[in-house]
């Protein structure tokens, strides 16, 4: 059983490799007794339930709580803060019962003095080794209750000396690996930008000197795309208290009679074998339970995007010319980026008017789409639904639909305003416009962008009754729009983009098929970005382009092979100026596209092993492995990269992982063909020769 109960007071949640144990003490409060490798006997924790509870601040600090609340001798960051109508501002609860429904445990916490309860939900994914937490607040009385802070989940990790990992950055510099020591005090990762953003990610990774293969790692990811907060507090009584949920800054939610509020989920796990097991666990779970069903197990197409060539100067003739060359390269999806819709000659115009520009496409998009389809490619398009240009028909008709304060000048960024996604009329308009675009045209891919942060919370409701629920309501409006379009057009491939990688989270994943990881296509930078990304998110969602511009670092001598291999580590896309490329170079790109198609099933759907990191040495090496019942399923792909030569060293031994030690593999790489056992590949390794700057090599392994 995945859920075991002892004496109605101890609850053991078991996956194949992990146990999570919670208990009710004698005073009726809920604590965490254990989180780690799988245990079998729930009875072993009977001493936890015998604890008397706490009666002062000294005692409360010793308890790893499942639901800490504001007040009542709680002085660490609380997971629940509320206010009753009479001014009472704490939540004093006792456990009031529980229910088990299959793999879901629900525990009711009832306030001892008010008709209000919080329900903690736990869903156990036994084979995937994940526990999902979410909470529900219920007003059982007549008077309103105001939620001021309400996290999705709370976790305790006993001991000291831990480090935390998150991903920081900015536009063009996303997913920079950031590790901090959790000494006395609190570490917070958060967003106040209105979306996930680039500066931090809604996840936590806590460890004590772990590496890819060794060490205990406690981790979780919040499934939410709005303002979030991850708090890691090193409590003085030798444990780390972790909170994950909706950002409580500028948040309130009023619960009327009989109303409830449900948080987003947080997915948590434990690894006893370092970061590698953590990544493979999260990736496998996401692909099975969160990925849209229409794409499960399938591979994403190789795309070409026209932005780097045409930018806003879009025309039927130029797009057709690019499409013909893209088709010759083996591209499967042709994407026309920004500049196709009414009045869009630069970034000052057109956002919100989602219909083809009548001068650029006098006969609509159908003609271009037909030609692209005749070339054997799908057709895709770029949109930015949540934004509006001041010079657009939509804004002229509905200036009140843009976020603004009545008595202040509206703030502009990138020559655009933000639409009020808390307004049902706005969401309905966008559904109508985008549904019409997709229904009237054979569009099979949408790149959904968002190129600015939110700065004003003046919305349609706040004019009369100001409330601090805007940030949450905005995220719900975004989900509503994305969910409706997904339901109406299940066969359309949706990519989440927000000035690059500003919308990478587990909340978006249910509605989108892939992420745009960064606008930075510099291959060397991308290797760092992609490595950090892969710690918590599936390679299957990581779109990566090959481009030929100098990039943000103005590197001038990066070989095409290096650029292509870096992009082949994810879901391959091309953004090069293929109109200006010599035939010899086009043939080389075509070769790499063909090579990628042979192995993309392994890359996109296999398990990832990070063999070597440039953060720690000269090389980056990544390996993708598939397994199964038959030998045909035992395959692997390995990419090895070097940024530059050091001291004349050119030969390196790469020890692989994840292979069957008893199986013989045929190994092919750039004209070389070997046969070696899985044991040899993992214990002795494969030799690679990387000469000079930007050396790289790909190995393909198949069981024989």
CA distance 588 to 561: 8
Task: Tell me if residue 449 is catalytic.
Answer: yes
CA distance 196 to 216: 27
Q: Which residues contact 595 (CB under 8 A, 6 or more apart)?
A: 568, 698
* 531-533-539 Cα angle (round to 5): 85
Pairing of strands 571-574, 542-546: parallel
Token couple for 462? 């706040």
The total of other beta-carbon atoms located within 10 Å of residue 444's CB is 19
> Helix or strand or coil: residue 56?
coil
Token couple for 335? 């994407």
The total of other beta-carbon atoms located within 10 Å of residue 499's CB is 22
Token couple for 620? 């980056």
Q: Per the annotation, does 632 bind a ligand?
A: no
Q: Which of 248, 353, 469, 519 is catalytic?
A: 519
* 671-635-533 Cα angle (round to 5): 100
Question: By the 8 A CB rule, do 551 and 218 touch?
Answer: no
Burial level of 227, CB count in 10 A (0-12/13-18/19+)?
A: buried
- φ/ψ (deg, to 5) at 248: -85, -10
Question: By the 8 A CB rule, do 361 and 319 touch?
Answer: no
Q: Per the annotation, does 698 bind a ligand?
A: no
Q: Per the annotation, does 253 bind a ligand?
A: no
Question: By the 8 A CB rule, do 638 and 687 touch?
Answer: no
Among 254, 99, 220, CA closest to 506 = 220
Q: Per the annotation, does 209 bind a ligand?
A: no
Question: By the 8 A CB rule, do 273 and 602 touch?
Answer: no
> Helix or strand or coil: residue 555?
coil
> Helix or strand or coil: residue 388?
strand
Helix (H) or strand (E) holding 689, with range, is: strand 686-689
CA distance 694 to 559: 7
**Integer angstrom CA distances of residue 592 from 566, 596, 658:** 11, 6, 25
Question: By the 8 A CB rule, do 53 and 168 touch?
Answer: no
Among 702, 697, 699, CA closest to 566 = 697
Q: Per the annotation, does 138 bind a ligand?
A: no
Q: Which residues contact 65 (CB under 8 A, 6 or more apart)?
A: 29, 30, 31, 32, 79, 154, 156, 241
Token couple for 14? 């078991």
Q: Which residues contact 293 (CB under 8 A, 6 or more apart)?
A: none
Q: Per the annotation, does 643 bind a ligand?
A: no
CA distance 519 to 526: 10
Task: Tell me if residue 519 is catalytic.
Answer: yes
Question: By the 8 A CB rule, do 652 and 690 touch?
Answer: yes
Q: Per the annotation, does 451 bind a ligand?
A: yes
Q: Per the annotation, does 171 bind a ligand?
A: yes
Q: Which of 449, 513, 522, 643 is catalytic?
A: 449
Question: By the 8 A CB rule, do 11 and 124 touch?
Answer: no
Helical H runs in 470-579? 470-488, 523-536, 560-568
Q: Per the annotation, does 696 bind a ligand?
A: no
Burial level of 28, CB count in 10 A (0-12/13-18/19+)?
A: middle
CA distance 119 to 42: 22
CA distance 18 to 20: 7
Among 338, 450, 460, CA closest to 384 = 450
Binding-site members are 171, 337-338, 414, 447-451, 497, 519
Instruction: Enumerate the active-site residues.
Output: 449, 519
Binding-site members for substrate are 171, 337-338, 414, 447-451, 497, 519
């Amino acid at each position: 059983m995945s859920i075991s109960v002892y004496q109605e007071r101890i609850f053991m949640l078991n996956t194949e490799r992990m146990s999570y144990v919670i208990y009710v003490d004698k005073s009726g409060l809920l604590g965490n007794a254990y989180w780690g490798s799988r245990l079998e006997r729930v009875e072993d924790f009977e001493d936890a339930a015998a604890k008397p509870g706490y009666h002062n601040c000294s005692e409360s600090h010793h308890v790893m709580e499942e639901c800490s609340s504001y007040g009542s001798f709680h002085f660490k960051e609380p997971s629940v803060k509320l206010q009753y109508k009479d001014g009472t501002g704490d939540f004093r609860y006792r456990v009031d019962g529980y229910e088990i429904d299959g793999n879901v445990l629900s525990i009711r916490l009832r306030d001892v003095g008010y008709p209000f309860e919080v329900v903690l939900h736990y869903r156990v994914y036994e084979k995937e080794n994940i526990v999902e937490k979410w909470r529900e607040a219920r007003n059982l009385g007549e008077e309103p209750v105001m939620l001021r802070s309400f996290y999705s989940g709370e976790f305790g990790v006993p001991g000291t000396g831990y480090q935390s990992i998150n991903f920081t950055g900015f536009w063009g510099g996303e997913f920079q690996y950031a590790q901090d020591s959790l000494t006395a005090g609190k570490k917070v990762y958060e967003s106040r930008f209105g979306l996930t953003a680039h500066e931090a990610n809604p996840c936590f990774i806590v460890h004590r000197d772990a590496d890819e293969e060794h060490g205990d790692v406690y981790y979780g990811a919040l499934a939410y795309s709005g303002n979030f907060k991850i708090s890691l507090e090193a409590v003085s009584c030798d444990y780390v208290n972790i909170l994950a949920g909706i950002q409580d800054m500028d948040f309130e939610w009023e619960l009327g009679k009989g109303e409830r509020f449900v948080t987003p989920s947080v997915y948590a796990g434990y690894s006893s074998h370092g970061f590698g097991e953590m990544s493979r666990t999260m990736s496998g779970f996401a692909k099975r339970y969160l990925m849209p069903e229409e794409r499960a197990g399938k591979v994403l197409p190789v795309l070409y995007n026209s932005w780097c060539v045409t930018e806003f100067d879009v025309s039927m003739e130029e797009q057709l010319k690019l499409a013909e060359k893209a088709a010759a390269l083996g591209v499967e999806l042709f994407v026309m980026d920004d500049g196709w819709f009414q009045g869009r000659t630069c970034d000052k115009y057109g956002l919100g008017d989602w219909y083809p520009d009548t001068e650029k496409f006098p006969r609509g998009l159908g003609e271009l789409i037909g030609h692209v389809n005749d070339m054997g490619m799908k057709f895709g398009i770029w949109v930015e639904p949540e934004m509006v240009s001041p010079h657009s028909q939509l804004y002229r008709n509905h200036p009140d639909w843009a976020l603004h304060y009545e008595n202040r000048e509206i703030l502009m960024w990138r020559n655009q305003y933000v639409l009020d996604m808390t307004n049902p009329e706005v969401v309905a308009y966008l559904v109508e416009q985008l549904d019409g675009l997709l229904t009237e045209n054979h569009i099979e891919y949408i790149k959904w962008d968002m190129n600015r942060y939110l700065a004003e919370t003046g919305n349609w409701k706040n004019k009369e009754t100001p409330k601090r629920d805007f940030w949450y309501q905005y995220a719900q409006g975004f989900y509503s729009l994305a969910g409706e379009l997904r339901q109406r057009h299940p066969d359309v491939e949706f990519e989440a983009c927000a000035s690059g990688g500003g919308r990478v989270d587990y909340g978006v994943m249910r509605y989108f098929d892939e992420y745009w990881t960064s606008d930075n296509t510099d291959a060397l930078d991308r290797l760092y970005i992609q490595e950090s990304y892969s710690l918590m998110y599936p390679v299957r969602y990581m779109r990566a382009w090959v481009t030929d511009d100098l990039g943000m670092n103005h590197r001038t001598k990066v070989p095409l092979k290096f650029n292509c291999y870096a992009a082949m580590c994810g879901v391959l896309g091309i953004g090069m100026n293929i109109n200006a490329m010599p035939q010899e170079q086009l043939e080389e790109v075509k070769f790499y596209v063909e090579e990628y198609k042979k192995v993309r099933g392994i890359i996109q759907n296999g398990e990832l092993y990070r063999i070597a990191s440039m953060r720690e040495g000269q090389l980056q090496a990544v390996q993708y492995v598939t397994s199964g019942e038959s030998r045909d399923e035992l395959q692997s792909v390995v990419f090895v990269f070097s940024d530059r030569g050091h001291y004349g060293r050119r030969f390196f031994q790469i020890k692989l992982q994840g292979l069957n030690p008893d199986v013989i593999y045929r190994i092919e790489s750039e004209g070389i063909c070997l046969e070696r056992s899985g044991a040899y590949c993992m214990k002795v390794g494969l030799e690679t020769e990387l000469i000079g700057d930007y050396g790289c090599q790909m190995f393909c392994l198949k069981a024989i």
